[in-house]
């Protein structure tokens, strides 16, 4: 096995898992499939890029996280909440519209420039056996594992996690026993926005030169990760992210051997895997199967 491709796949998968976790949290709390999540990734990275010279990198990261979380909160409060009882398809289409508007404006603001985010580790690398690994990739893996580990514990042991699981299980019953679904939904969107910003910061680090308009497209490759893992599973977000990251890295790495499948096979391979998984297991690898009484 090519170990360099393995490290690349794991680091990509770690970032995709953070984005997929945002999809999962929002879906569990509000039953909304948020297609605007890719633009939240770009928004967080964009604010970080524009403020790092004035605030320093870590101050800019905080600003980027706050901006993405605030944008997510506005989407939830202003656009989604007023029609929260609308059919699921209507809510999903609403977020597609938001994605188009936000992404168009962000691209207009960025222009054709590639914006650096001022990562203090820059393009630094370290040796791992015979491989040279970018520090950014290693930090992405560690950060994703820590964050997802915290969320797994929070879902199981915190009152917020218990409330969210109860809301995801049966919203009407959860409301009857006094759970404030509006507050749970609001907090979940804020957290998802913050996670998107963190993912954007690592997606624009080495070996990527910086923030480019294509980031939203790259971020949306995490959508298959959420679907593959199961939209109601936090562990599934991690597994789905890793699967997509590895599949993409190896498809790109063996592009020449796979040339009979056409150019750019690495970019579409996540969606091919998603289709295959949905055919075999429609609820995702870790998702719960819904039983309907005949």
Q: Could you say which residues of the chain have pLDDT below 50?
A: 293-294
Helix/strand/coil (H/E/C) assignment for every residue in the chain: CCHHHHHHHHHHHHHHHHHHHHHHHHHHHHCCCCCCHHHHHHHHHHHHHHHHHHHCHHHHHHHHHHHHHHHHHHHHHHHHHHHCCCCHHHHHHHHHHHHHHHHHHHHHHHCCCCECCCCCCCCCEEEECCEEEEHHHHHHHHHHHHHHHHHHHHHHHCHHHHHHHHHHHCHHHHHHCCCCHHHHHHHHHHHHHHHHHHHHHHHCCCCCCCECCCHHHHHCCHHHHHHHHCCCCHHHHHHHHHHHHHHHHHHHHCCCCCHHHCCCHHHHHHHHHHHHHHHHCCCCCCCCCCCCCC
* Residue 229, in any domain of the structure: no
Q: Please give the pLDDT value at position 201.
A: 92
pLDDT score at 66: 97
Count of domains for the chain:
1
Q: Is residue 275 a part of any domain in this protein?
A: no
Full-model pTM: 0.88
Is 232 domain-assigned?
no
Q: Is residue 100 part of a domain?
A: yes
Quote the pLDDT of residue 289. 67
Does residue 260 lie within any of the structural domains?
no
- The answer to whether position 245 is within a domain reads no
Would 124 be classed as within a structural domain? yes
pLDDT recorded at residue 290: 61
Residue 292 lies in a domain: no
Could you list the residue range(s) of the whole structural domain that residue 65 is in? 1-222
């Amino acid at each position: 096995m090519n170990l360099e491709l393995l490290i690349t796949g794991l680091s990509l998968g770690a970032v995709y898992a953070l984005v997929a976790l945002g999809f999962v949290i929002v879906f569990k709390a509000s039953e909304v499939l948020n297609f605007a999540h890719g633009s939240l990734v770009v928004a967080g990275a964009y604010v970080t890029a524009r403020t790092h010279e004035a605030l320093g990198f870590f101050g800019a990261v905080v600003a980027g996280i706050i901006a993405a979380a605030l944008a997510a909160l506005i989407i939830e409060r202003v656009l989604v909440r007023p029609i929260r009882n609308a059919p699921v398809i209507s809510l999903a289409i609403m977020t597609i519209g938001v994605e188009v508007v936000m992404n168009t404006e962000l691209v207009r603001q960025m222009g054709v420039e590639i914006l650096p985010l001022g990562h203090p580790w820059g393009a630094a690398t370290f040796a791992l056996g015979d491989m040279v690994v970018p520090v950014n990739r290693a930090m992405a893996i560690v950060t994703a594992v820590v964050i997802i580990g915290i969320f797994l514990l929070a879902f199981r042991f915190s009152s917020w996690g218990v409330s969210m699981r109860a809301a995801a299980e049966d919203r009407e019953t959860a409301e009857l026993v006094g759970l404030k679904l509006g507050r749970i939904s609001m907090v979940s969107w804020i957290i998802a926005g913050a996670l998107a910003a963190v993912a954007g910061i690592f997606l624009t680090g080495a070996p990527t030169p910086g923030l480019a308009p294509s980031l939203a497209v790259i971020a949306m490759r995490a959508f298959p990760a959420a679907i593959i893992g199961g939209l109601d599973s936090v562990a599934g977000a991690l597994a789905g992210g890793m699967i997509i990251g590895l599949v993409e890295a190896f498809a790109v790495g063996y592009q020449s051997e796979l040339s009979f499948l056409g150019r750019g096979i690495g970019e579409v391979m996540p969606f091919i895997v998603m289709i295959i998984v949905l055919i075999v297991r429609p609820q995702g690898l870790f998702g719960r199967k819904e039983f309907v009484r005949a």
